[in-house]
Amino acid sequence: MLVLDNIHTHYGKIEALHGVSVEIKKGEIVSLIGANGAGKTTMLMTVCGTPQASAGRITFQGRDITHQPTASIMRSGIAIVPEGRRVFPGLTVTENLHMGGFFNTKAEISKSQAHVFELFPRLKEREDQRAGTMSGGEQQMLAIGRALMSKPQMIILDEPSLGLAPLVIKQIFEIIGQLRDEGITVFLVEQNANQALALADRGYVLETGKIRLHDTGKNLLANPEVRKAYLGG
Amino acid sequence: MPDFLYFLQQLINGLAIGSAYALIAIGYTMVYGIIGMINFAHGEIYMIGAYTALIAITGLATLGIAWLPLILVVALVCAVLVSSSMGWAVERVAYRPVRGRHRLIPLISAIGMSIFLQNYVHLAQGSRNVGFPALIQGGFQFGDPDSFQTSISYMQITIFVATLVCMSALTLFISHSRIGRACRAVSQDLGMANLLGIETNRIISATFVIGASLAAVAGLLLGMYYGSVDPLFGFIAGLKAFTAAVLGGIGSIPGAMLGGLILGVSESMTSGYLSGEYKDVVSFGLLILILLFKPTGLLGKPEVEKI
């Protein structure tokens, strides 16, 4: 579904990704793990076209999106839950959701919204509250809900568990599993490697801008190298 | 009683001018809210709106059309069309090519745009001030005919009504329409709006166009109110409206409205009770005072963010 072929990304003169190749198939959960500064977020953002790859090719559903502007990539069936959630703080929960479904008809929006409220009943309770005044966990739910509003084929999640209470993290991971059951392909970046790999069909390990390992989630969890570096022994 | 009537008179005059300032100030505050920069050519866009309205009025007069509502509507439509395309062009020429560079660069290109537009009007329309026909005359008077009488002219009422209509329409648009919601989202997190598939460039253009349209309305109104225009017409009004926007809290639309009214009233009160010479001293003094105690302006507030 999504193929990154030998992707290089630069920030100015500094190269952050040194030829990364990743493939994600339809209906999979693929986790990308790696240390701080390995280039995980850069890789996700390169898929979204900010920044654009300086070399290599990205295709989504067979279509070359390497040099497409961000807005049109994001309208082609990809949605992102970015690092730090980035909900619109001054907009209410409903307004944030409507921004997610900006290009859909009113009927589609109310249908997706009902679905999001079903997944996250907490959001329904906070319907008219400004997003900036909610807790981190609620904001994370809102960010996921907003991404679902566009009815994406693939959803990219960047560190959805960051800074959240264990109970909320559990809930978020349950929802991610549920998304796969609904047929949405999931590309997940996590520092919380244990949970991310346990949930994933396949995983990639990124180290200083290069793919170091690639295997099924189970095998990576059992891999002594991975255990030592990312799972605390 | 005469004292009160005198005060009322100053208040009415101040609110009239203040309404027009508020209309112009919206343009500054919306553009700042979205791209974090001041549109220094906004005063010129307002001035061009006034000139366009004048040209339309003169044109209709030569055609022998004298029906007032038609004249006003045509003048308004022409002014809004020309000013809003100017606003759009200013963004395309002076802002978009240099967006993302050092903050000083768009500032300089916008000042360049302002100088260009001002001098273009100098060349095309002459540098002398041109009379603007007082299309709306007459008014009400109340109070004792032997002592001070308060008067409200129909022109002032027109300013109040037009401002009220524009502000209500804008408020409804921003708070309830799809594009208005996108404007707010883009002003809070432009990159994220882009990641939702929104063409942020179009939203940015839209704010320049909306601001310019309101400035054109103010151009027509103040042209008629003052009775003349000249190529520097936009300079002082732009400065005042900018002050109003900062006073109310730049980036906040209700702030711009409030700032405009406060500035207008404080100016007319100073003219009425002290001397007209002091009105700029008082308005800029007020700005300094408010910024000292409330650096974000009256209604501007630091963003509430929880991480």
Could you read off the pLDDT tens digit of each residue along chain A, which spans 233 residues? Answer: 999 999 999 998 999 999 999 999 999 999 999 988 899 999 999 999 999 999 999 999 999 999 999 999 999 999 999 999 999 999 999 999 999 999 999 999 999 999 999 999 999 999 999 999 999 999 999 999 999 999 999 999 999 999 899 999 999 999 999 999 999 999 999 888 888 999 999 999 999 999 999 999 999 999 988 888 887 76
Residue B306 has pLDDT above 50, yes or no: no
The dihedral through the CA atoms of B231, B233, B238, B240 has a sign that is positive
Q: Looking at the partner chain, which of B178, B184, B197 has a beta carbon nearest the beta carbon of A75? A: B197
On whether the CB atoms of residues A203 and A33 are closer than 8 A, the answer is: yes
On whether the CB atoms of residues B10 and B180 are closer than 8 A, the answer is: no
Q: How many A×B Cβ pairs under 8 Å?
A: 78
Query: A91, B196: Cβ pair inside 8 Å?
Result: no
* SS3 state of residue B298: coil
pTM: 0.91
ipTM beyond cut 0.90: yes
Please state, in angstroms and rounded to a whole number, the distance separating the CA atoms of residues B154 and B142.
Answer: 14
Q: Looking at the partner chain, which of B181, B198, B305 has a beta carbon nearest the beta carbon of A71? A: B198
* Element of type H or E holding A202: strand A202-207
Query: A70, B194: Cβ pair inside 8 Å?
Result: yes
Residue B304 has pLDDT above 60, yes or no: no
Using a CB-CB distance cutoff of 8 angstroms, which residues of chain A are in contact with residue B184?
88, 90-91, 95
Using a CB-CB distance cutoff of 8 angstroms, which residues of chain B are in contact with residue A70?
194-195
Query: B189, A88: Cβ pair inside 8 Å?
Result: yes
Q: What is the pLDDT of residue A35?
A: 87
Using a CB-CB distance cutoff of 8 angstroms, which residues of chain B are in contact with residue A132?
303-306
CB contact B205 to A (< 8 Å): no
Name all contacts of B223-227 with Cβ < 8 Å and 24+ positions apart.
B223/B50, B223/B53, B223/B54, B223/B132, B224/B132, B224/B133, B224/B134, B224/B135, B224/B136, B224/B155, B224/B158, B225/B16, B225/B17, B225/B20, B225/B155, B225/B156, B225/B159, B226/B132, B227/B131, B227/B132, B227/B134
Q: What is the pLDDT of residue A233?
A: 62
Peptide bond before residue A166 is cis, with ω within 30 degrees of 0: no
Query: A90, B184: Cβ pair inside 8 Å?
Result: yes
| B199: closest CA of chain A, how far (Å) | 6
Closest residue of chain B to A79, computed from CA coordinates: B196
